[in-house]
Amino acid sequence: MEYTFHWRPVFRALPDLLDAGLLTLQVAALSMVFGVVFGLGLAIIRLNARGPLLWAASTWIELARNTPALFQLFFFGFGLGAFGWHLSPYAIVLVGLSFNNAGYLAENFRGGFKALPPTQLRAARSLGMTATQAYIRIIIPQVLRIVYHPMTNQMVWAVLMSSLGMLVGFRELSGETQFFASKTFRIFEYFAVTAVIYYVIVKLILAMSRLLAMRLFRY
């Protein structure tokens, strides 16, 4: 049997696909913001805290890194649902990806903190800075540079992982593609075009990251 390609319906749906691509980028970027904030917190707890706080942080990191991302999304979708907590598909993906990013980034950050000479903190404290000031002004900026490339990787990974959203009913790029593909049965065409869109998004992220690095890291 011969398969005839039909591209026209795909191109008609292109504006919708691009909108969905923006949604993908948005949820991935937001999940990175939360991931960086919580990841830094987890790394600092893991390096400094003891007792229940350390246990909670370690559990978070272990679960995020050692279970499938899809299961993590299912947990925030259907798992919490079982307890009467119903999140919107958008929220499920955002919370799930943030949870996952934070776990992975925490381990990167931990390595970053360890790579800094401990005397940097002492020097900052000796000038009268509080621990918080020393972390925000001296330690974290240097750690972010050390883990800059792993962070870029995580951002790319977040974009690609967000495609799991279609399995919890989120109409991001993959969900939208699935929706159109099942309406028209032009499954190959739709997913081929979508793959190109993903590819372009990731390439843009990498280019942006390189430009940003040139501006940020002049030392």
Binding residues vs other proteins (CB under 8 A): 117, 119-120, 122-130, 133, 137-138, 141-142, 145, 218-219
Least CB distance from residue 45 to other proteins, whole Å? 22
Q: How far is the CB of 217 from other proteins (least distance, A)?
A: 8
Q: Which is nearer to other proteins, 125 or 191 (CB)?
A: 125
In the chain, the amino acid numbered 162 is: S
Q: Which two tokens stand for residue 154?
A: 């995580």
Q: Are 113 and 46 in contact (CB under 8 A)?
A: no
**Which is nearer to other proteins, 114 or 122 (by Cβ)?**
122
Closer to other proteins by CB, 33 or 131: give it. 131
Cβ density class 68-104: b for 16+ within 10 Å, e for less: ebeebbbbbbeebeeeeeebebbebbbbbbbbbbbbb
Residue with Cβ nearer other proteins (211 or 216): 216
Q: How near is the Cβ of 111 to other proteins at its closest, in Å?
A: 18
Contact 73, 96 (CB under 8 A): yes
